Amino acid sequence: GGPGPKRRAGDRQVPEGFYEIDGLNPNSLFHLSLRVDYPNAEDRAAATVPLKELGGDIFVHGGAASIGCVAIGDDAIEEVFTLVARVPAGRRRVVLAPLDLRLNPPPPTDDARVATLYRRLATELASLAPRAPRPP
């Protein structure tokens, strides 16, 4: 995909926004996986295609490659999966952003809805502990 949030099934995009983790899969084909509640109410309200065409089954998972999901590697998914499993269902909130908006400006966009989303994401991420850049 490219800059901008997921808008429909098969667009090779990753959802961007505020989501809940609504399922944990210890038997994933991608080592471990966490199901994201895409499309959520915000995605449905902003839909530009019929709701049945929005897609779904978006996961954060292990491995190094994906088309539409978020692959974070096996070591990272083990750590995240363990942390998420400790949080009660209904309180498993995740922020999916195009990049770390604490360290980088958002991608340019002419879409006012996406620009507003990026501002909201940046505000939320800024409220978290600052993250130091990883060494090269």
Q: Which one of the listed residues 6, 7, 31, 61 is annotated catalytic? A: 61
3-state secondary structure of 18: strand
31 is catalytic: no
Q: Tokens 């490219």 label which residue?
A: 2
Out of 21, 36, 58, 69, the active site residue is 69
Place of tokens 């961007």: 16
State the Cα–Cα distance between residues 68 and 91, nearest whole angstrom: 24
> Does the annotation count 111 as an active-site position?
no
Amino acid at site 46: A
> Hey, which residues are catalytic here?
61, 69
